[in-house]
Structure 1
Amino acid sequence: MMSRILKLALCLVPAMLAVGCASHKQAAYDYTAFKAAKPRSIVVLPPLNDSPEVNAGNSVYAQVSYPLAEAGYYVLPVAVVSETFKQNGLTDAHDIHGVEAKKLSEIFGADAALYMTIARYGSTYTVVDSVSVVSVKAKLVDLKTGTLLWEGVASASSNEGNNSGGGGLVGMLVAAAVKQIINSSTDASHPVAGVANARLLSAGSPNGLLYGPRSQRYLAQ
């Protein structure tokens, strides 16, 4: 069994090096519609959850306001937004995402709406590790016209920058088992979701959101 694990690890090394050495250059995002709309306020809709974790939506939604506010936008309180939808008989994210843009504008008075989708959320156990990964994507839509202003995607992992080389293979297997037990008993993906949100919604990054009018960098972009 141990020899099989070692052979598997040796086979994976070249593939990992190839992926690490590969470079992918992104095309510059077209911000023409974004700059023309000049959104000042954003209503964030409860995210769609395509992961098997039932708590993923609440976790991501609870950590979405801070990066947007830091980017220079007024963000409607998510608790108020969620309660408003409930009062109008909408509790399912799919139904909420189906509401027309103009109707959202009438209800909330925001300039734009942020639609989010959780592609991945949770901890997975591999041969030598246990990793929590969160992947989210979002699009910003002008509520007056329904025009797409921006869209992006970001991921984060609990293993970023982690050095797990100490203790040999047996030590790595034991550490992975312990991490899996901890991750299963607690929501280890919650802080990872905060990192993914920050990467996705912080302004100033390549092809990321533009700074909002409340930011000192708004006029310089």
Structure 2
Amino acid sequence: MKRIIALCGLLAAILLTGCAKKEAVDYTAFRQHPPKSILVLLPQNDSPETNASHGMLSNVTYPLSEAGYYVFPVAMVEEVFKQNGLVNGGEIQTTSLVKLREIFGADSVLYITVKDYGTSYQVIASDTRVTADAKLVDLATGTLLWSGSATASSNEQNSGSGNLIGMLIQAAVNQIAHTLTDKSYEVAGVTSVRLLGAGQPDSILYGPRSPKYGQDAK
């Protein structure tokens, strides 16, 4: 009987832990140092795919612009670093805040790390997944304004039904198709919107170019 009671207590604790609310994002610093412009650095790539940094970089301007911010042209920014011998995202992100502000004159800098990028074959499924973390830092003070993480997968709409042979064939076909058509780039676009689009739970706040500026996260 005691074992049953103990087991019930353990299950209850697990359920309560799983149902616990996620801690809300603190926007105090964001409101104290509201940025008008964002400098996006070449993402650091922690995935095995060599094109992950540029695949993610080419997708981030849209959600940030839609959120109401001026985004420094990412190709121009990358070229500036290239002219100074920095071509790797990890190296570029070590540049001091003072130097970044001196060169670009931006209000804030966005650091992105790509965790997952690419298509993997999983016996009965072929999954293209992109996961990225980001943090927005005020260039004048070094204050962390916001941080977040997002992921997207090509299998999100799959029902998983069907016979085993058919699923195996479909998985192989999907992997070939995703590789040939660079499905990762498309999925990275979804990830970037989830990560950097304003108006979502725990997202960045709307910028001054948006008609919704100052109306969110109250």
Cα shift readout 1:116-171 (whole Å, capped 9, x = no counterpart): 000000111112110100000000000001111100000000011222413x1111
Query: Which 4+ stretches in 1 moved above 2 angstroms?
Result: 22-25, 183-186
Indicate the residue corresponding to 2:53 in structure 1: 57
Measured after TM superposition, the shift of residue 85 of structure 1 is 0.9
Matched residue, 1:153: 149
| Structure 1 residue runs without a partner (length 5+) | 1-21
- The structure 2 residue matched to 1:134, chosen from 118, 130, 136, is 130
Report the AA paired with residue 150 of structure 2: A
- 1:82-104 residue CA offsets vs partner (Å, 9 max, x unmatched): 01111222112122111111110
Distance 1:178 1:119, change over 3 A: same
Q: Which amino acid aligns with 1:110?
A: A
Amino acid of the residue matched to residue 151 of structure 2? S
Q: Distance in 1 between matches of 2:50 and 2:19?
A: 35
Q: Distance in 1 between matches of 2:63 and 2:44?
A: 19
Check the 8 A contact 1:102/1:145 in 2, yes or no.
no
Provide the residue aligned with 2:96 in structure 1.
100
2:208 paired residue number:
213
Q: Tell me the number of residue pairs that the alignment of Structure 1 and Structure 2 aligns.
A: 201
Structure 2: 5+ residue stretches without partners: 1-17
Measured after TM superposition, the shift of residue 24 of structure 1 is 5.4
Rounded Cα–Cα distance in structure 2 between residues aligned with 1:97 and 1:120: 19
Larger displacement relative to structure 2 (176-185 or 26-35)? 176-185
TM-score (norm 1): 0.87
Deviation at 1:49, TM superposition (A): 0.2
TM-score, scaled to structure 2? 0.88
The C-alpha deviation readout for 1:65-91, integer Å capped at 9, x for no partner, is: 000000000000001100111122211
1:196 aligns with 2:191: yes
How far has the Cα of 1:186 moved from its partner? 3.2
Give yes or no for contact 1:102–1:146 (8 Å, CA) kept in 2. Answer: no
SS in 1 for 2:82: helix
1:35-46 aligned within 5 A? 35-46=31-42
- Residue 185 of structure 1 pairs with residue 180 of structure 2: yes
